[in-house]
């Protein structure tokens, strides 16, 4: 079969490449054309447009690049019509992909599958109407989304979470690794590690890292290690590290989590990855005008939590110190509990195990491929 995929950012490229690999296993004659990145290109097929030319975030960048975005949209539409695929698979990236879904539904008879639902449960719930109208099948990677869509009378498929697969693959590939090898490879001392995951964007690092360092630096029996984000140079971190005794390691976030005793984590997928490695954590996220941001969160957004860990559990498993709750003192107090209150630690780890059970076994990409090919055969 012929597959046209659209991914507009790095995470979509990763998940898209894994899905393509799974589709090839089940469909030896699979032919791909796509908007994506290097990882998808490595799976074969024709890369029409790289996501680097599409990833505009925020109101001002989108406005400044509107002509480019519209040109990319037109190109995508023309490529789909010319390629005449058996299906179009859209991966997250809602602003662009919902318009593509609408075009495909209005101008062709090609079925539209959406892999990895946009987070409309947090805000923009009105977009569910567009999904019901323009998307034939939704494949979700978050279990709580099933109930969310059910209340809108929209059936979706939960296929498992790719992060579970990534962690399982890492553990299998690094089975022989040891703390001693990790410490030697990265010139670390003998002290146990507090991991600092300060986000993937410069602004997140600028906002969160100084308070993380100041808080974790109070625990002199531990060493601080920063998980360096892809695309961020060491010098950027060093301006915030200053006189703190702290190492930065790049490309080894999972390895770092495997040996960390506790973690200070900026919200995002990293909170779930930390939980899957069973590392006690506190979520730290500084915002501007914190009291207004918190009011907006409580009164405008349609979600109780900011971290995937708490969202999946549907309860407070990890403390979320964001907006008005964010402070050095609060982070330090919570870190102290993570390190020294063993009842508190054990309770958090037990709740992690519940989350791991909710997420299910590895194999998200394979299950997604099964659903897609199975539905197409009907």
Across the range 367-376, mean pLDDT stands at 90
The single-letter DSSP state of residue 139 is E
Sorting pLDDT into bands at 50, 70 and 90, what band is 267? confident
Using DSSP, how many helices (H) and how many strands (E) does the chain show?
A: 18, 13
The span from the CA of 144 to the CA of 132, in Å, is 18
Residue 79 vs residues 32, 74, 93, 158: alpha-carbon distances, Å: 12, 9, 18, 29
Across the range 29-43, mean pLDDT stands at 95
Q: What integer pLDDT is reported at residue 274 of this predicted model?
A: 98
Residue 300 vs residues 60, 118, 125, 284, 289: alpha-carbon distances, Å: 22, 18, 11, 21, 16
How confident is the model over 124-144, as pLDDT tens digits? 788 899 999 999 999 999 999
Residue 62 has pLDDT above 60, yes or no: no
Report the Cα–Cα distance between both ends of the chain, in Å, rounded.
Answer: 14
Q: Residue 180 burial by CB count (10 A; 0-12/13-18/19+): exposed, middle or buried?
A: exposed
CA 72 to chain centre: 24
- The residues with which 197 forms a beta bridge, in sequence order, are 265
The CB density around residue 203, as the number of other CB atoms within 10 Å, is: 9
Strands (E), 242-298: 246-250, 260-265, 281-285
Least confident span in 45-54, 104-113, 122-131, 292-301: 292-301
Evaluate whether 253 touches 279 at the Cβ level (below 8 Å).
no
Residue 66's contacts (CB-CB under 8 Å, 6 or more residues apart) are: none
Residue 58 has pLDDT above 60, yes or no: no
Whole-prediction pTM value?
0.89
| Order of strands across the sheet that contains 320-322 | 246-250, 223-228, 193-197, 260-265, 281-285, 320-322
Evaluate whether 320 touches 310 at the Cβ level (below 8 Å).
yes
- The residues with which 35 forms a beta bridge, in sequence order, are 6, 49
Q: What is the DSSP secondary-structure string of 209-234?
A: HHHHHHHHTT-TTSEEEEEEPTT--H
258: closest CA among 348, 200, 334, 171? 171
Q: Which residue has the higher pLDDT, 124 or 251?
A: 251
Q: What integer pLDDT is reported at residue 201 of this predicted model?
A: 85
92: closest CA among 101, 103, 79? 101
Evaluate whether 358 touches 323 at the Cβ level (below 8 Å).
no
Percent of the chain surpassing pLDDT 90: 79
Q: For all residues of the chain together, what is the average pLDDT?
A: 92
The span from the CA of 49 to the CA of 62, in Å, is 18
Please give the domain boundaries of the chain with CATH numbers for all domains. 2-160+363-376 (3.40.50.2000), 177-359 (3.40.50.2000)
210: closest CA among 199, 220, 221? 199
Q: What integer pLDDT is reported at residue 88 of this predicted model?
A: 97
Least confident span in 99-103, 211-215, 296-300: 296-300
Structure tokens given for 265: 């984590």
């Amino acid at each position: 079969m012929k597959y046209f995929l659209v991914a507009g950012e790095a995470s979509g490229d990763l998940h898209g490449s894994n899905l393509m690999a799974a589709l090839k296993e089940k469909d030896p004659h699979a032919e791909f054309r796509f908007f994506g990145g290097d990882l998808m290109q490595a799976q074969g097929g024709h890369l029409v447009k790289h996501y680097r030319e599409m990833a505009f975030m925020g109101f001002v960048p989108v406005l400044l690049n509107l002509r480019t975005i519209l040109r990319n949209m037109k190109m995508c539409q023309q490529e789909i019509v010319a390629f005449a695929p058996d299906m179009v698979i859209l991966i997250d990236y809602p602003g662009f992909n919902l318009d593509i879904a609408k075009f495909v539904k209005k101008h062709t008879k090609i079925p539209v599958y959406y892999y990895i639902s946009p987070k409309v449960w947090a805000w923009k719930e009105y977009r569910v109407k567009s999904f019901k109208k323009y998307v034939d099948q939704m494949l979700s990677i978050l279990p709580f989304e099933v109930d969310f869509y059910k209340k809108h009378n929209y059936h979706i498929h939960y296929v498992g979470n790719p992060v579970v697969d990534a962690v399982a693959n890492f553990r299998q590939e690094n089975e022989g690794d040891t703390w001693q090898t990790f410490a030697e490879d990265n010139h670390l001392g003998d002290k146990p590690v507090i991991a600092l995951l300060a986000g993937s964007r410069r602004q997140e690092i600028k906002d969160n890292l100084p308070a993380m360092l100041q808080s974790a630096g109070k625990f002199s029996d531990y060493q601080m290690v920063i998980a360096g984000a892809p695309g961020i140079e060491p010098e950027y971190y060093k301006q915030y590290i200053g006189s703190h005794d702290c190492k930065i390691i790049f490309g080894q976030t999972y390895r770092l989590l495997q040996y960390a005793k506790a973690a200070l984590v900026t919200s995002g997928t990293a909170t779930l990855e930390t939980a899957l490695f069973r590392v006690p954590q506190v979520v730290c996220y500084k915002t501007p005008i914190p009291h207004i941001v918190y009011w907006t969160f409580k009164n405008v957004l349609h979600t109780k939590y900011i971290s995937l860990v708490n969202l999946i559990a549907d309860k407070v498993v990890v403390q979320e110190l964001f907006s008005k709750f964010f402070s050095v003192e609060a982070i330090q107090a919570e870190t102290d509990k993570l390190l020294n209150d063993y009842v508190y630690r054990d309770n958090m780890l037990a709740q992690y195990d519940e989350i791991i059970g909710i997420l299910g076994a590895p194999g998200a990409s394979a299950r997604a491929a099964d659903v897609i090919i199975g539905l197409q055969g009907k």
